[in-house]
Structure 1
């Protein structure tokens, strides 16, 4: 078997002493690799589909800012569903060791393929870059800049490439570890603006795409190798070495590697350049689009090892695992028979059984509790998956009249005694409090109207009638008085610098330093507007949609961040703060390329406490 699958042991490494055996219920079958962010393991879904689980390094998981951005990027990545991306199917960003699971791609990385078998032919490079460009199209469409597009983050499958790890480098940039000798990303594949610490945009990924094309076609990086400082200097100040790039790919890599981000091609232009470099009239991806040696590596990776069977070492309580992701136990719980009912004065059964909500799913020795993907709800969140902690007892026959015993009789006698002393109203309250969940009982107050003075048959005084109290209790609550909308406060020509924020409650709203700290509106240096206040939301209005307080109140397309790549002059953003203010941002423009400061110009209209006023009116 090993002879038919060369290198299998090199691909699927056995678990070592410091490797976990399970991750949130997923049983690990092998280790796929390790990098600057953590380790990657092979596992399976309950249906037998192989997946790759990346467990983040402990030192990263201890950084609060990394966790916040990691959670944000995972949430965005789960929206990416492209033919040339490996979808994120499960994740835990809150646990002691954050992790995420993606579909397993049975193929080598571009870095491994080139290192072992050499450069790819022109046709394969054209198909590779075209597929990667399609992946960037859906990644950028989700508001994500990859930031770390390199050969090791491109997997070669039989039906095309797969781009992985999009957005995770952004979370790593936020951690304090990046300033203490920890390098995230490969310097050889950075863009000039990224190396210089300037604004990162979708064009940054296009530059990296050109570098990947040079590497795939020649086997060496476009700006050479060596120390990171030397490589970064050449990226910023020198031209790439493309002397070994085939002529048909020269225009593609030259345009992608332009120093000026504005001069780089768009994704559709990249695909058109790949088309012109291809020998065929159209881009068609045959089954044998890769060289035979690389295709053989794919065959070997298809035979992934199965996870070891889990056998509990101790008896466990019978339980039916809830549906969802994470392996189920292999043992079969015995059939549980409800105990026979034995009537007795000390075992009264309730007339109405209310199931008690099930606690956390059972865990097994050495196996953490399973995690569930977003499309599945945890059973605790679904009423139909609630189970009683004890099976309901059969309802006993009702004893003959006059012979009932137990707690209910004592309550009824006490209530009757109180009724004779304190009046029917008090007894009614006590009976109601002791019979929650039953139907409303009749008012025990006497219904006969008092006879008017003089013995006549006239009407009784309504104010003294027992019915007056009953009717007053059923009166409808008064309709709340509408709260008028607050007056708008306008602030024009605000230059919001990256790394600064706005606070809507200030008398004069002006930028203040700080981008992370539960701010109501911040311009993050990552290139996006951010609402970090608890309960705060953003909503991007459509072009031509008039901005107003009513429009912002009616808008429900909420998000917590909006990348500036989606903004242009005239676009408007509704901001609802966690403190109850509503703001309307109107984009007026951005700083020029030669500006030493990165800022966006905007007008702001604030309706203070408008969210609270709307709630009070309802």
Structure 2
């Protein structure tokens, strides 16, 4: 069993009844994720600065050997000062439940970026490699080997990457825990010497950097996925599979992934190689354009969400008090701006060209396939949307909604992919139970889901519920969603809803980009 990274979502999660509201004097506002080591919270200093606060699992906290190792690792981590690392701010190694606080980075992990947006361009990969290599230099200067460098442990900010969890997971490698089969590190990114239980060094992290870069450039780990034992075997005995990685990255990544630690480049040599690449040039700068637009917009959305969250009470406290906690709708405009009424939706949309987010959208063809998958009926056989007693505005379906994820800007490259509304990610078509899918000149949703299109440019969860009960729509035609007009989809069990905006759509079932924000009903 390996130590798993914190399981993060595109946004914050509400606190549960079992979560603390204060740790070490820091007010806890929301969950950022959870994993093998414990739970990570979003908290704030007394001066209002956000921090990421990791509380260790209670069973680990009860082990004296773990606590000693944890204190040693925290002391080492405090010596690390790098521009591309998440700085350690405070800790409570002697508290009943040990904890560690680091600078908060309001951005997704590299694992989330690749999962939602696919492989990254060569220039972006090279800049990431250089930034992470600089972070490794700072880590190694402090006498620490990361041991678990992977896409989930690199967060992306607008001004470059941030390496997290440097050496902290090693605290779990206490003698009393090894009997459980706990393995420190992640098999797909381990160097051969680490996989075989031999001493590790700075070169071990360089190998992991090569595996990480191959993953983000090619979309899959270079030693494959699947059972840990199979990945460990390939790491030790087989060459890395770089077939999906652009050719001009093969030399650098191949050197990093050499089985012989002595043959791998140093972190300084990795940075020099990135400088020398024609896609980067002599200046390594994280300026506008270094990230794909969809990734940059997601980062900015997270920053806005964090600011909004700080201005609100803690999520669980507001829900417990029965308050209406609908936050500002994504992309909402000033209430004084002109509101436009939604026109009637036709069963068949004629050929049209409508500007949406500055790009032309072309619509053509019948909606039969779209309507049948979306609403369980052929064209013309519209389902009844008469509100029932169980879904009237006064029913529990119109209760308090708290944020799930926010402003996740996602792109489905073609009709072979769809949007998983629950997870907030792009998945292969026909694999999600609650989905939004491009289907010709419209979107398809499950037949037992409800939908509503706003008449203006702001749409809160409460507006969504009221709209579904009074003006539900039988189709989501692209022309009705032009100019980023918000719409919403409610889950069949009425416990979740997603507020969405169409950003851009290519013609003929081509790529489509949307921004999604999920809300969860409480009470």
TM-score by length of 2: 0.56
User: 1:306 maps to which residue?
Assistant: 310
Q: CA deviation at 1:128?
A: 0.2
**Are residues 296 and 178 of structure 1, via their aligned partners in 2, closer, same or farther at CA, if it must alter by over 3 Å?**
farther
CA offset digits 1:376-403 (Å, max 9, x no partner): xxxxxxxxxxxxxxxxxxxxxxxxxxxx
Please give the alpha-carbon distance, in whole angstroms, between the structure 2 residues aligned to 1:171 and 1:255. 30
User: 2:259 maps to which residue?
Assistant: 259
> Mind listing any 5+ residue stretches in structure 1 that lack a counterpart?
1-7, 311-618
Larger relative contact order, structure 1 or 2 (CA cutoff 8 Å, min sep 6): 2
CA contact (8 A) 1:26 1:43 kept: yes
CA contact (8 A) 2:219 2:244 kept: no
Please give the alpha-carbon distance, in whole angstroms, between the structure 1 residues aligned to 2:241 and 2:275. 23
Helix, strand or coil at the partner of 1:52: strand
Helix, strand or coil at the partner of 1:53: strand
1:18 matched to 2:18? The reply is yes
Please give the alpha-carbon distance, in whole angstroms, between the structure 2 residues aligned to 1:309 and 1:118. 35
CA offset digits 1:292-328 (Å, max 9, x no partner): 1111111111121117669xxxxxxxxxxxxxxxxxx
CA offset digits 1:387-443 (Å, max 9, x no partner): xxxxxxxxxxxxxxxxxxxxxxxxxxxxxxxxxxxxxxxxxxxxxxxxxxxxxxxxx
User: 1:409 maps to which residue?
Assistant: none
**Are residues 247 and 254 of structure 1, via their aligned partners in 2, closer, same or farther at CA, if it must alter by over 3 Å?**
same
Helix, strand or coil at the partner of 1:253: helix
Q: CA deviation at 1:10?
A: 4.5
User: 1:220 maps to which residue?
Assistant: 220
1:157 matched to 2:157? The reply is yes
User: 2:87 maps to which residue?
Assistant: 87
Please give the alpha-carbon distance, in whole angstroms, between the structure 2 residues aligned to 1:20 and 1:297. 29
CA contact (8 A) 2:211 2:222 kept: yes
User: 2:285 maps to which residue?
Assistant: 284
Please give the alpha-carbon distance, in whole angstroms, between the structure 2 residues aligned to 1:309 and 1:229. 46
Q: CA deviation at 1:169?
A: 2.1
Please give the alpha-carbon distance, in whole angstroms, between the structure 2 residues aligned to 1:277 and 1:63. 49
CA offset digits 1:515-550 (Å, max 9, x no partner): xxxxxxxxxxxxxxxxxxxxxxxxxxxxxxxxxxxx
Please give the alpha-carbon distance, in whole angstroms, between the structure 1 residues aligned to 2:65 and 2:22. 27
Q: CA deviation at 1:40?
A: 0.5
CA offset digits 1:158-190 (Å, max 9, x no partner): 000000000112211225334314444321111
User: 1:561 maps to which residue?
Assistant: none
User: 1:488 maps to which residue?
Assistant: none
CA offset digits 1:343-395 (Å, max 9, x no partner): xxxxxxxxxxxxxxxxxxxxxxxxxxxxxxxxxxxxxxxxxxxxxxxxxxxxx
**Are residues 111 and 9 of structure 1, via their aligned partners in 2, closer, same or farther at CA, if it must alter by over 3 Å?**
closer
Please give the alpha-carbon distance, in whole angstroms, between the structure 1 residues aligned to 2:89 and 2:206. 26
More strand by share: 2
User: 1:130 maps to which residue?
Assistant: 130
Helix, strand or coil at the partner of 1:108: coil
Please give the alpha-carbon distance, in whole angstroms, between the structure 2 residues aligned to 1:288 and 1:47. 33
CA contact (8 A) 1:12 1:31 kept: yes
Please give the alpha-carbon distance, in whole angstroms, between the structure 1 residues aligned to 2:179 and 2:192. 19
User: 1:148 maps to which residue?
Assistant: 148
**Are residues 288 and 46 of structure 1, via their aligned partners in 2, closer, same or farther at CA, if it must alter by over 3 Å?**
farther
Helix, strand or coil at the partner of 2:138: helix
Q: Which runs of 4+ in 1 moved over 4 A?
A: 307-310
Please give the alpha-carbon distance, in whole angstroms, between the structure 2 residues aligned to 1:73 and 1:278. 39
Q: CA deviation at 1:23?
A: 0.7
Helix, strand or coil at the partner of 1:12: strand
CA contact (8 A) 1:122 1:278 kept: no
**Are residues 82 and 10 of structure 1, via their aligned partners in 2, closer, same or farther at CA, if it must alter by over 3 Å?**
closer
CA offset digits 1:433-489 (Å, max 9, x no partner): xxxxxxxxxxxxxxxxxxxxxxxxxxxxxxxxxxxxxxxxxxxxxxxxxxxxxxxxx
User: 1:99 maps to which residue?
Assistant: 99
Q: CA deviation at 1:132?
A: 0.2
Matching of residues 200-211 of structure 1 within 5 Å: 200-211=200-211
CA contact (8 A) 1:139 1:166 kept: yes
**Are residues 9 and 180 of structure 1, via their aligned partners in 2, closer, same or farther at CA, if it must alter by over 3 Å?**
closer
Matching of residues 333-348 of structure 1 within 5 Å: none
Please give the alpha-carbon distance, in whole angstroms, between the structure 2 residues aligned to 1:159 and 1:203. 26
Please give the alpha-carbon distance, in whole angstroms, between the structure 2 residues aligned to 1:58 and 1:308. 29
Helix, strand or coil at the partner of 1:33: strand
User: 1:296 maps to which residue?
Assistant: 297
Please give the alpha-carbon distance, in whole angstroms, between the structure 2 residues aligned to 1:278 and 1:46. 47
**Are residues 307 and 67 of structure 1, via their aligned partners in 2, closer, same or farther at CA, if it must alter by over 3 Å?**
farther
Helix, strand or coil at the partner of 2:43: strand
**Are residues 269 and 10 of structure 1, via their aligned partners in 2, closer, same or farther at CA, if it must alter by over 3 Å?**
closer
CA contact (8 A) 1:27 1:307 kept: no
Please give the alpha-carbon distance, in whole angstroms, between the structure 2 residues aligned to 1:309 and 1:12. 14
Helix, strand or coil at the partner of 2:205: helix
Helix, strand or coil at the partner of 2:161: strand
CA offset digits 1:264-308 (Å, max 9, x no partner): 001111011212334242122212311111111111111211176
Please give the alpha-carbon distance, in whole angstroms, between the structure 1 residues aligned to 2:112 and 2:183. 21
Helix, strand or coil at the partner of 2:310: coil
User: 1:71 maps to which residue?
Assistant: 71
Please give the alpha-carbon distance, in whole angstroms, between the structure 2 residues aligned to 1:196 and 1:33. 30
Q: Radius of gyration: which is bigger?
A: 1
User: 1:180 maps to which residue?
Assistant: 180
Please give the alpha-carbon distance, in whole angstroms, between the structure 1 residues aligned to 2:292 and 2:23. 36
Number of residue pairs the alignment of both structures matches = 304
RMSD of aligned Cα (Å): 1.8
CA contact (8 A) 2:80 2:139 kept: yes
Please give the alpha-carbon distance, in whole angstroms, between the structure 2 residues aligned to 1:11 and 1:65. 34
> Mind listing any 5+ residue stretches in structure 2 that lack a counterpart?
1-7, 315-523
CA offset digits 1:84-132 (Å, max 9, x no partner): 0010000011111110000000110000000011010000000000000
CA contact (8 A) 1:126 1:278 kept: no
